[in-house]
Structure 1
Amino acid sequence: MKIKALLLAALLTIASIMPACKNMTGTQKGAAIGAGSGAAIGALIGHAAGNTAIGALIGGAVGGVSGAYIGKYMDKQKKEIQETVPNAKVEEINNGEALKVTFDSKVLFDVNKYDLKDASKNAVKQLAEIINKYPDTYVQIQGHTDNTGEDAYNMTLSQKRAEAVMHYAISIGVQANRLMSQGMGETTPIADNKTVDGRTQNRRVEFYIVANDKLKQEAAKQK
């Protein structure tokens, strides 16, 4: 009941702010959202992703002037990723205070494989270079599969893919203490697994880029 109440509060909050935030940048969204709604929104993100760890990692939206400060930091990263990494889809989450970057697995891996293809390492390298330019963040790397194959096999494959990306990013200079990996298997589809296109979309790797404690502390000083 407590979780349902929290999610309901988050939904009501989002419903009330979405019309105003539709055309805002991350900076503007961060300023528009009050800190009081942050915990509920963070929980909703974690619930929607099927992973409460994401909600804990992202935490509550800071909101206000501090949120605007973080949002501006994320805006710059988003723009650079969009301009530099052609195979990446970038979305603002947590009211502009965090980013979600998605790669189709076909960009990174051969079917049923978890070793990075030589050609795909370039995409990860491009993203890693930007991550290194913005050191005040943590990054969670998630692997996902479609629903073909056994559940246990898919979970293992997705974990190995997430780890392969993480280890490669570390090998080219991203600090290990900024990264974490998680396999989600087939648990969080974003498209219909009954179609070829849907299964292709579900085979993906996602990066969640969030403010670290240092950035949050700097943002708090802006009040």
Structure 2
Amino acid sequence: MRSLKIYALALTFLALTGITSCEAVKNTNNTQRGVGIGAASGAVIGGVLGNNIGKGGNTALGAIIGGVVGGTVGGVIGNRMDKQAQKIDQALPGAEVERVGEGIKITLGENSVNFDLNKATLTTKAKGNLDKLVPVFNEYPDTNIQIFGYTDSSGSDEYNLNLSEQRAASVKSYLGSKGISSARIVTKGLGEADPIADNATPDGRAKNRRVEFAITANEKMIQDAQKEVKQ
């Protein structure tokens, strides 16, 4: 596989050290996929972790961790997300795909769905790359999709926040036009927050004009996983 990254949440590590930060997200091998939360409440742990990662549930990573189910059910969900993440990774080589706990984080930047300066309109290239994601999203309808829009540091905070919201909305609208149910999609603009590159350079600013996806289980997937565990 090209670039798929896999992470797991280690509850034992948290319990023994009391560390609730990005350090709680560790590299893991294939046998450690899913979420090792045991009988503890995934929602509580997810909330604690989320509050210490960026803006908690207001970032793609925070949204994924904040929605943790945990236990054996979480492991079943994680295995299903493995398959979807692999297909996304194969379908769109320009994206950065990360398997985190029970969800998937996708960063669509300059090589996939970037934006021109001060623009929220999707380019022809961006539309073509989103088209590659549509079949995968349709194949896995029991997932929620959260889209987070970002800008570079040019312009005022208010302007950038509005622009980032428009960018996320543009992606949602386009996916909707391709048959993805709008009920699955939630958008949020974060402006120039959480840059992934140096805003002091043109190349860095281009990378920061991006969208990120958080793919998480919806209620049906959770219920199906619970039934599978009981069998």
Q: Same fold (TM over 0.5)?
A: yes
Counterpart in 2 of 1:48?
53
Q: Distance in 1 between matches of 2:35 and 2:109?
A: 32
Change over 3 Å in CA distance of 1:50–1:124 after alignment to 2: same
Residues 185 and 35 from structure 1, CA distance in 2 versus in 1: closer, same or farther, beyond 3 angstroms?
A: farther
Higher helix proportion, which one? 1
61, 69, 74: which one aligns with 1:62: 69
**Corresponding letter in the other structure for 2:197:** A
Change beyond 3 A, Cα 1:217–1:206? same
Task: Look up the SS of the partner of 1:116 in the other structure.
Answer: coil
Structure 1 residue 32, shift from structure 2 partner: 2.8
Letter in 2 for 1:23: T
SS at match of 2:172: helix
Residue type of the alignment partner of 2:33: K
TM-score normalised according to structure 1 size? 0.82
Task: Give the Cα separation in 1 of the matches to 2:86 and 2:225.
Answer: 20
Aligned residue for 2:29? 24
Structure 1, gaps ≥5 residues long: 1-7
Q: Which residue of 2 aligns with 1:182?
A: 188
1:100 maps to 2:105: yes
| Alpha-carbon distance in structure 2 between the residues aligned to 1:100 and 1:56 | 9
- In structure 2, which of residues 150, 159, 163 is the aligned counterpart of residue 153 of structure 1? 159
One-letter amino acid matched to 1:117: T
- For 1:137 and 1:190, locate their aligned partners in 2 and report how far apart those are by CA, in whole Å: 26
Deviation sequence 1:49-105 (CA, Å, 0-9, x none): 325345567544223321121011100011101111121110122x2x000001115
TM-superposed deviation, 1:195: 3.7
CA shift in 2, pair 1:49/1:124, >3 Å: farther
Quote the RMSD (CA, aligned, Å).
2.7
- Count, aligned residues: 210
Unaligned runs of at least 5 residues, structure 2: 1-16
The more displaced of 49-58 and 69-78 is 49-58
In the alignment, structure 1 residue 82 sits paired with structure 2 residue 86: no
Report the equivalent of 1:5: none
Distance 1:154 1:216 in 2: 36
Moved over 4 A (4+): 12-15, 53-58
What secondary structure, in the 3-state scheme, does the structure 2 residue paired with 1:32 have?
coil
Q: Which of residues 10, 20, 32 is equivalent to 1:11?
A: 20
Q: Is the 8 A contact 1:34 1:62 kept in 2?
A: no
Q: What TM-score, normalized to structure 2?
A: 0.79
Q: Percent identity, aligned pairs only? A: 43
Seen in structure 2, the aligned counterparts of structure 1 residues 24 and 33 have a Cα distance that, compared at 3 Å, is farther
User: How do residues 125-164 of structure 1 correspond to structure 2 at under 5 angstroms?
Assistant: 125-164=131-170
**1:140 and 1:207 in contact (8 A); partners too:** yes
Do the aligned partners of residues 106 and 14 (structure 1) sit closer, same or farther apart at CA in structure 2, a change above 3 Å counting?
closer
